[in-house]
């Protein structure tokens, strides 16, 4: 599509003007799809449903039931590191679309140590390296644009203290002649009535953990593979317990 035709298409088809987007004059309201109605009655009265081969996969994807920590031990702190950036956008996907790497789904709940209940409206800063162990701001000679946040985001827990995000497995990286940082994801957890927590999560089985001076065993999580068609991703759980101020 050449420049003239593209401009014409945008102006007439999408209603683009110098002031921004306008709804085309002929646009019609989006139709509602209806409700269950008579079909809902039919489903309720019907014979047992045909077995659904995706049922097991749906159970893997569903939000797990809340299970309180056994002893409400506070989540251990861990180093902030040099790569945190303020004001990352709120979103549920940490990495850009089509980012190379093994897909992860990380989920958990934030708990209050004093009440032993889940905490809604907790803000979590999440940031990590890519699959090659690189951060978006680890090169002083090529800093990212101020409004470009790669491999980082903010989340907020829901009314049940639950959070969830999609990402890719971060890579390890070397920090000295014989020193490596194992794969990890950074957390900065904040709530009005609780002490801020800076920590990291790690993945069981990473050989670089043997030589890392910062790792804490309580922060290591297991990953479980979930098959979907011809592909797969891994799921991990990381619950957090906060201390009151």
Q: Are residues 133 and 179 in the same domain?
A: yes
The CATH number given to whatever domain includes residue 139 is 2.60.130.10
Domain extent for 2: 1-27
Q: How far is CA 144 from CA 136, 148, 151, in A?
A: 6, 6, 12
State the Cα–Cα distance between residues 220 and 211, nearest whole angstrom. 15
**Residue 28 burial (CB < 10 Å; 0-12/13-18/19+)?**
exposed
| 8 is a domain residue | yes
Give the angle subtended at the CA of 137 by the CAs of 131 and 143, to the nearest 5°: 130
115 and 227 inside one domain: yes
Q: Could you give the C-alpha distances from 120 to 69, 158, 159, 200, 239, in angstroms and in order?
A: 17, 5, 5, 21, 13
Task: Tell me the pTM.
Answer: 0.76
Answer whether residue 233 is part of any domain: yes
Residue-level pLDDT at 42: 47
Residues 18, 79 within the same domain: no
Q: How many CB atoms lie within 10 A of CB 220?
A: 17
Closest by Cα among 211, 241, 205, 245 to 223: 205
CB atoms within 10 A of CB 10: 13
The number of domains in the chain is 2
Mark whether 20 and 98 lie in a shared domain.
Answer: no
Residue 56 lies in a domain: no
Q: Does residue 48 lie within any of the structural domains?
A: no
Same domain, 20 and 70: no
86 and 179 belong to one structural domain: yes
* pLDDT string in tens for the chain (245-residue length): 454 454 554 455 545 555 556 666 677 777 766 665 555 554 455 444 555 555 555 555 677 788 888 788 999 999 999 999 999 999 999 999 999 999 999 999 999 999 999 999 999 999 999 999 999 999 999 999 999 999 999 999 999 999 999 999 999 999 988 899 999 999 999 999 999 999 999 999 999 999 899 999 999 999 999 999 889 999 999 999 999 99
């Amino acid at each position: 599509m050449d420049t003239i035709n593209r401009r014409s298409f945008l102006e007439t088809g999408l209603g683009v003007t110098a002031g921004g987007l306008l709804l085309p004059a002929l646009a019609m309201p989006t139709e509602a799809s209806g409700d269950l109605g008579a079909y809902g009655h039919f489903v309720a009265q019907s014979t047992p449903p045909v077995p659904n081969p995706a049922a097991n996969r749906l159970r893997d994807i569903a939000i797990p039931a809340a299970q309180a920590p056994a002893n409400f031990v506070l989540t251990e702190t861990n180093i902030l590191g040099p790569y945190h950036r303020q004001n990352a956008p709120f979103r549920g996907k940490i990495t850009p679309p089509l980012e190379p790497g093994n897909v992860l789904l990380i989920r958990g709940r934030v708990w209050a140590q004093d009440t032993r209940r889940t905490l809604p409206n907790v803000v979590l800063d999440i940031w990590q390296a890519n699959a090659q162990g690189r951060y978006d701001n680890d090169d002083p000679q090529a800093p990212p644009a101020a409004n470009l946040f790669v491999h980082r985001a903010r989340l907020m827990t829901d009314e049940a203290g639950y959070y969830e995000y999609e990402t890719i497995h971060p890579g390890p990286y070397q920090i000295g002649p014989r020193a490596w940082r194992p794969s990890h994801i950074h957390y900065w957890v904040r709530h009005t009535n609780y002490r801020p927590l800076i920590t990291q999560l790690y993945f069981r089985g990473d050989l670089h953990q043997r030589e890392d001076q910062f790792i804490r065993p309580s922060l290591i999580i297991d990953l479980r593979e979930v098959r979907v068609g011809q592909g797969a991703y891994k799921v991990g759980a990381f619950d957090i317990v906060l201390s009151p101020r």
